[in-house]
């Protein structure tokens, strides 16, 4: 058991180093940004807001009609900087799907006003902590993992049957 603190200290150093490294490197979830530049709407796609999602597939759906249908209005691909521009024909909620065809997909609703103030309903699909920075989310995840392991360890140690029982 005397080796345990030494082992934990070594592992903690390695994880701290990896944490620093990770804070410098981007992760890879697909993120989107919407801007209305009348008469156009500009969609910007990136991985974690840092690496442009170039040449990924885009499908634009017009606002639903009276019968609730929202057919595809336009399809295409982002440019090398991860941008895609389309020309909406009416105000309303324009749904834009982005897909890199490698398992990463995002959907954003561009609320077109026609006055250059498109708001984006770009809430992350899983909700939660996406508004926080990478480092903060990483720290939160590590805290949860270590906390859960610690609680489980404590609970199991407390309920462990004595040797020979």
Partner 1 sequence: MHVSDGILPVEMSIAGYVLAIGAAVLTSRKLETEEVPRMGLLAAATFVASLVNVPVAGVSVHFGLFGLVGLLLGMRAVPVIFAVLILQTFLFQHGGFLSLGVNVVNMASGGLVAAAIGRYLPGPLGLRAAFAGFAGIYLPVLLLLGEFQIAGYGRSILLLAAVYAIVGALEGAFTMMIVAFLRRAKPVLLHHLLRPRESAPGALPEPHAEVR
Binding site for partner 1 (CB under 8 A): 3-4, 7-8, 11, 14-15, 18-19, 21-22, 25-30, 47-48, 51, 54, 99-107, 124-130, 134, 137-138, 140-142, 144-146, 148-150, 152-153, 156-157, 160
DSSP string, 90-112: SSEEEEEEEE-SSS-EEEEEEEE
Task: Kindly state the smallest distance separating residue 120's Cβ from partner 1, in Å.
Answer: 16
Could you give the C-alpha distances from 107 to 45, 79, 104, 110, 146, in angstroms and in order? 11, 18, 11, 10, 33
State in angstroms the smallest separation of the CB of 8 from partner 1. Answer: 7
User: How near is the Cβ of 65 to partner 1 at its closest, in Å?
Assistant: 22
In terms of CB distance, is 66 or 162 closer to partner 1? Answer: 162
Whose Cβ is closer to partner 1: residue 37's or residue 132's?
A: 132
Q: Closer CB to partner 1, residue 22 or residue 74? A: 22
Choose between 31 and 41: whose C-beta lies nearer to partner 1: 31
Residues 6+ apart with CB under 8 A from 94: 41, 60, 61, 62, 63, 73, 86, 88, 109, 110, 111, 112
Closest distance to partner 1 from the beta carbon of 38 (Å):
30
Sheet holding 119-121, edge to edge: 72-77, 57-61, 92-99, 105-112, 119-121
């Amino acid at each position: 058991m005397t080796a345990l603190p030494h082992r934990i200290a070594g592992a903690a150093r390695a994880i701290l180093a990896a944490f620093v490294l990770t804070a410098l490197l981007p992760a890879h979830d697909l993120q989107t940004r919407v801007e209305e530049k009348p008469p156009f709407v500009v969609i910007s796609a990136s991985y974690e807001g840092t690496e442009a999602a170039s040449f990924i597939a885009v499908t634009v759906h017009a606002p639903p009609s009276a019968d609730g249908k929202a057919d595809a209005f336009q399809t295409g691909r982002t440019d090398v900087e991860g941008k895609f521009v389309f020309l909406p024909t009416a105000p309303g909620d324009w749904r834009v799907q982005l897909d890199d065809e490698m398992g990463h997909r995002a959907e954003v609703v561009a609320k077109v006003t026609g006055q250059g103030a498109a708001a984006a309903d770009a809430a992350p699909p899983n909700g939660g902590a996406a508004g926080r920075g990478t480092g903060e989310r990483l720290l939160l995840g590590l805290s949860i993992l270590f906390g859960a392991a610690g609680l489980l360890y404590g609970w199991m140690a407390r309920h462990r049957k004595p040797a020979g029982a």
